[in-house]
Structure 1
Amino acid sequence: MSSQPPKTLDNQLPAISRFITDHDKEGKAVFSSRVEEELQWQELADGARFCLGFTTHKTPVDMSNGKDLSDYEQDMINKPGIMIPGGTVMRLVDMRPGSTSPMHRTVSLDYGVVLEGEVELVLDSGEVRLMRRGDTAVQRCTNHAWRNASQSKWARMLYVLQESEPVVVGGKVLDEDYGGIPGVRPSKP
């Protein structure tokens, strides 16, 4: 266990470590040294910061012989879209003070948890909910935006996404639409 004080990033949010468990040759639980514990952040053109915390490529996930770790290592080199067809994505996003994401839709079931700050979940109907630390959104393929409610402090969200079956509303199949989020590529080729 480390006795060093937690690191703070330049946006005054705490650095995050991710601890991945594994098994030794005797089958005992150990911490994996295969992937760095400190997360790697990427800044998008709009100033938001994304971090790909972990990914899987199928359900149920294949962890034998480190297959899931190999898949994640490849995703760190060649970043996937917002979600991975058949798999899962854990992502962290830091939002600049006062910023609002473009209105967007993923064809997935997403869990969004506020880790730091206050974030508004804005729906295309005009409905808004203020989310505080620990509040969780269950995003079900709806068109939405995220807004940092503070004009002076960064906010941080944790998202876990999994692909959904096509969603039909009013006889129309909904498709993903990233609303022009800079640096985001489609989830399906």
Structure 2
Amino acid sequence: MDTRRIVTGHSATGKSVFVSDTTTPRNHKFKHVPGFETGLVWGTEPGGVLPASDGDPTEQALSWVPQADGTRLMVVTFPPDSVMGSPDFNPSAAGGEYMQAIPGLAERFEMESPGMHTTDTVDYAVLLDGELHLELDDGQSKKLGRHDIVVQQGTRHAWRNLSTAPATILFILVGAERKR
């Protein structure tokens, strides 16, 4: 998944300029989960200001889950769930690769309920291609088609690709504080 990323900014005189036009630098094609691809497109930290400082926030050691008032923009391609059901699938190797490739998010995946996770974020998700099922902790699920949008409010959930084709989804995560 080579996502084109165009970033704008400001010149020394304050005029709008194109800062970069590249592919997303933190793309990862998973070796141990064939067809699973992730791309961290951008992120902001709490207290962001404009114009933003120079540099690419994705080149820093960002957690894929933002702190309260931070954001993350990512694109994820999910392979069919049958990939994880293959006799060749190695959950330990896949888990280790998750920890390296998607820090901060990988730690939230539940070992006893594969795919289930919870983040302290409001997530805006737009299915770009394919179909996915969003499963909640009570077992309910909704099938999503191309261009369907989900607003997720810190719920425990999993994404399931029950089809035979990959599905690509865009996520915008906004960090929030959970009421306890």
TM over 0.5: yes
What's 1:42 paired with? 28
Which deviations, in whole Å up to 9, do the C-alpha atoms of 1:59-88 show, x marking residues without a partner?
4x2133x42x5361xx42424142334310
What's 1:21 paired with? 8
The answer as to 2:168 corresponding to 1:163 is no
Residue from 52, 56, 79 that aligns with 2:44: 56
What TM-score results when the alignment is normalised by the length of structure 1? 0.68
Q: Any stretches of 5+ residues in structure 2 without a counterpart? A: 85-113
What's 1:146 paired with? 159
Which deviations, in whole Å up to 9, do the C-alpha atoms of 1:117-154 show, x marking residues without a partner?
11110111111111111111111111100012321x21
- Secondary structure of residue in 1 paired with 2:158: strand
C-alpha separation in 2, matches of 1:148 and 1:127: 15
Q: In the TM superposition, what is the alpha-carbon distance from 1:97 to its structure 2 partner? A: 2.0
The answer as to 2:90 corresponding to 1:78 is no
C-alpha separation in 1, matches of 2:7 and 2:145: 27
Q: Give, as a single letter, the amino acid of the residue that structure 2 aligns with 1:154.
A: P
C-alpha separation in 1, matches of 2:174 and 2:29: 23
Identity %: 30
C-alpha separation in 2, matches of 1:49 and 1:137: 20
The answer as to 2:99 corresponding to 1:111 is no
Alignment of 1:92-131 (within 5 A): 92-98=75-81, 102-131=115-144
RMSD: 2.2
What TM-score results when the alignment is normalised by the length of structure 2? 0.72
What's 1:32 paired with? 19
Q: Give, as a single letter, the amino acid of the residue that structure 2 aligns with 1:54.
A: W
More strand by share: 2
Q: Give, as a single letter, the amino acid of the residue that structure 2 aligns with 1:91.
A: M
C-alpha separation in 2, matches of 1:85 and 1:49: 26
C-alpha separation in 2, matches of 1:77 and 1:157: 23
- 20-29 or 128-137: which moved more? 20-29
C-alpha separation in 1, matches of 2:158 and 2:177: 22
Matched residues, number: 147
Q: In the TM superposition, what is the alpha-carbon distance from 1:43 to its structure 2 partner? A: 3.2
